[in-house]
Structure 1
Amino acid sequence: MTGRTGLRTGVLDAGGDCIYGLEAGVTLLGLLERDALSEAGRSALHNPAEVVGMRDVALAPPIPRPPTFRDFMSFETHLQNSAKAMSLDVPQVWYREPAFYFSNPAAMLGPNDPVKRPPGTVALDYELEVAAVVSRSGSDLTPEQAEDHIAGYVVLCDWSARDFQRQEIPLTMGPSKSKDFATSLSGFLVTPDELADSMSAGRHNLRMTAEVNGRLCSEGNLSDLHWSFAEMIATASRNTTVLPGDIIGSGTVGSGCLLELSGLHGTDAYPFLVPGDRVCLDVAGIGVINAEICDSDVAFPLWNTEPSSEIL
C-alpha cells in the first residue's frame, strides 16, 4: 500500500476497513525471502506500527518487482476459443504438460492504477486470471512438493495488444511487445488457508468475472483449471529454481478476454478497449482489479504497426 508515509506493507483486517501496517522498509518479498510471512502477519495484527483506513491508501501490487513472472495457459476453453479466433489449431502438446511464457517483472501495476494503451494498437484486451505467488525456493519439485511452495494468490490481468500479438506469432518466440507493457495485480496476497473452504480435488471453486464499463462480459470459475497451480510450479521448477516472490499466472479463464468473445460473437458485440473504458476483474475471495484505460504519453508508435481490420 502507499499511504501518507510512503510504500508500506500491512495486513487487512477481517472487516476490510483497516490495514495494520508493519515498520517502514518491510516488504512482502523480503518477508517471503526470510520465511517470515506468518510471523510478520501476527506481529502486524497484535502490535502494528500504524493502523490506516482503506480510504486513506492507494494499493500497490503486492510484489511490485517479482524475480520472474511466468504466465501459463491452463484453461482448456480459453485455448480452444483463442485458437479458433486466430485461425490456429489447438496444439496437442498442451495436453502433455503446462505451457508458459516469461513476461515483464518491471511492468506490474496496482489494482486501481490506470493502464496506458500502447501507441499503435487498435486491439487492446484484458485477460481475467489468477496468479500464485511462490513462497520459497525450490528445484525439480513434484506437484505434491510444489503445493507447499504457494504463499498465496492474487487476481492478475495480462493486458494484451492483439494486433501486435498477431504479428509476433509467426516469429515463434512467444509474446513480447504485445504483452510486456502492463500487468495488473489485485492489492492483497490471499494465503491458502483463507481459501481452504473453496478447495476440492486440487482446485478452488471461485467465481471469476470481468466487466467493461459496468457490463458483465466474462464469467468463469477457477475450478475449471486443466492444470493445477501445483503442476504449473512443478513445471516451472524443472531444471531450474523458482524463487520467493515469483509470479505464476494461470492464464485466462474460458471466455475471459475480448479476443475470445469477439471470435464467438463478433467485434461489434465485444469491441476492444479504448481510452476512457473501465475494466473490473473480480475473483471471489481473492480480490478486485478496477482499472481505467488511458492514452499513452508517447506520441508515436513504438514499432511499425499498421492498424488492421483482420485482427481475428
Structure 2
Amino acid sequence: MRFATYEQHGRSRLATVEDDGTLYPCPGTGTLLDLIQAGPEALREAGNASLDVPRGPHVSQVRLLPPLQPPSVRDFITFEEHVEGVRRNIDGVPGAPDAWYDAPTFYFTNPYAVIGAHDDVPVPPGSQVLDFELEVAAVIGREGRDLTPEQARDHIIGYTIYNDWSARDLQSREMQVSLGPCKGKDTATTLGPHLVTADELEPYRDSDGFLRLALTAEINGEVVGKDLLSNMSWTFEEMTAYASRGTWVRPGDVLGSGTCGNGGCLAELWGVRGRQDPPPLKPGDTVTLTVEGIGTVSNTVVPGAEPVPVPRARRRSRTRP
C-alpha cells in the first residue's frame, strides 16, 4: 500500500493512494505515525478500511505533507561513488577514506525540518551554495535493539524519497570543528510523496538483498543524475542493524540511504568536473527527484531569511577558582 498525508481546506488527512493518484481517506483522525506506532496490523487495517469509503481528491488537488513527522532522522552515507566525488570536491583527494569501509556511518539530523513533496525550499540563512541530495529512506515499524540484519527486515515498514538539502558553504566551514554537519543541513529535508509499504518493493529486491530501483535527479527539467539504489554498499537491513547497535530504533524513525552516485548531488559533480557545473541552486530553480516504485518529489527554491547575527567566540581568561 501507499500512504499519503495531505492538507485540504486547512485540514490534514491520511489516505491511501491509488496508481492513478486518487486518494482514499483513512477512517478516523490518527496520523501515519500513530498507526505505525500501533503496529503493522493497525496500519494494514486502516489501509483496507480506506477502500470502503468514498474516494477523496486527486493528489494534484491537495498539498502533500510529509508522510509522517518522524521522531528521529538518521542519514547514512552508503554510496561509494558519492563519497569519492564529494571528497575530491572538498579535499582534492581521490577515493574514499579507509574508515568509510568499516561500517555504515550516519549522523542525526533535524526531524523538525521535514517538508512535503512539493513545498518550497528557502535558501538557508547566510548560504550562497545550496545543493540537493537524492536519497531513499526506510521507515522503522517495530522497535528493536541489537538487531541482526535478518531480524531488521521485519522492522522496516516502508520507504519514501528523501532529499537532504545542503548548504555546502556552511557545512564545509562548520565541519572544520570536527563535528557533524550543523546549520548546513538544518533548513529542509523533503520526505514524500508518500510511504510505500515494504511488501510493495519486494519484487525489486535482487539476489544480494538490495532494492534495484532507478533513481533520477533533474534541475529545471534537465537530468543531472541517474543511479540505481542497489549500488548502495550496505542494505537497509544492515543499516538498521548498525543503527540499533547498543540502542533502540523505534517506530517512525527514518533512516536515509545517503546520496546516490552519478549526479545524486551537485557537490559530487563539482568534484568530478573540477568546477561548479551545474552551479549552486538559486531561487527559482526546481529540483525533481524520481525513484522507481515510489514516485516523484519536486521542490522549488525560494529566498530565505537573513541570518540573525550571533557573535564570534569570545576569548576568555583561563583563571581557575
Q: Write the distance in 2 (CA, Å) between the matches of 1:222 and 1:27.
A: 28
Contact 2:89–2:274 under 8 Å retained in 1: no
1:94 deviates by: 1.7
TM-score by length of 1: 0.92
Over aligned residue pairs, what C-alpha RMSD do you find? 1.7
Q: 1:2 aligns with which of 4, 7, 14?
A: 7
Contact 1:131–1:156 under 8 Å retained in 2: yes
In structure 2, the gaps of 5 or more residues are: 1-5, 313-321
Hey, what does 1:23 align to over in structure 2?
27
Is 1:278 the counterpart of 2:286? The answer is: yes
Hey, what does 1:245 align to over in structure 2?
252
After TM superposition, list the pairs within 5 Å mapping 1:164-203 onto structure 2. 164-200=170-206, 201-203=208-210
Q: 1:130 aligns with which of 114, 122, 136?
A: 136
Q: 1:80 aligns with which of 71, 77, 84?
A: 84
Deviates more, 1:258-267 or 1:226-235: 258-267
Query: 3-state DSSP class of the match of 2:297?
Result: strand
Q: 1:165 to 1:282 in 2, by over 3 A?
A: same
Contact 1:119–1:302 under 8 Å retained in 2: no
Please tell me whether Structure 1 or Structure 2 has the larger radius of gyration of its CA atoms: 2
In structure 1, the gaps of 5 or more residues are: 306-312
Deviates more, 1:227-236 or 1:196-205: 196-205
Query: 3-state DSSP class of the match of 2:65?
Result: coil
Q: Write the distance in 1 (CA, Å) between the matches of 2:267 and 2:308.
A: 22
Q: 1:56 to 1:24 in 2, by over 3 A?
A: farther
Is 1:158 the counterpart of 2:132? The answer is: no
Contact 1:120–1:301 under 8 Å retained in 2: no
Contact 1:9–1:21 under 8 Å retained in 2: yes
Q: What is the identity percentage for the equivalent residue pairs of Structure 1 and Structure 2? A: 43
Query: 3-state DSSP class of the match of 1:204?
Result: coil
Query: 3-state DSSP class of the match of 2:184?
Result: coil
Hey, what does 2:229 align to over in structure 1?
222
Contact 2:27–2:49 under 8 Å retained in 1: no
Q: Write the distance in 2 (CA, Å) between the matches of 1:103 and 1:91.
A: 22
Q: Match for 1:236: what amino acid?
A: A
Contact 1:8–1:24 under 8 Å retained in 2: no
After TM superposition, list the pairs within 5 Å mapping 1:248-267 onto structure 2. 248-254=255-261, 255-267=263-275
Q: Match for 1:219: what amino acid?
A: K
Hey, what does 2:37 align to over in structure 1?
33
Q: Match for 2:244: what amino acid?
A: S
Q: Write the distance in 1 (CA, Å) between the matches of 2:265 and 2:49.
A: 40
Deviates more, 1:1-10 or 1:137-146: 1-10
Is 1:205 the counterpart of 2:209? The answer is: no
Deviations 1:215-247 (A, max 9, x none): 110111101010110011111111111010000
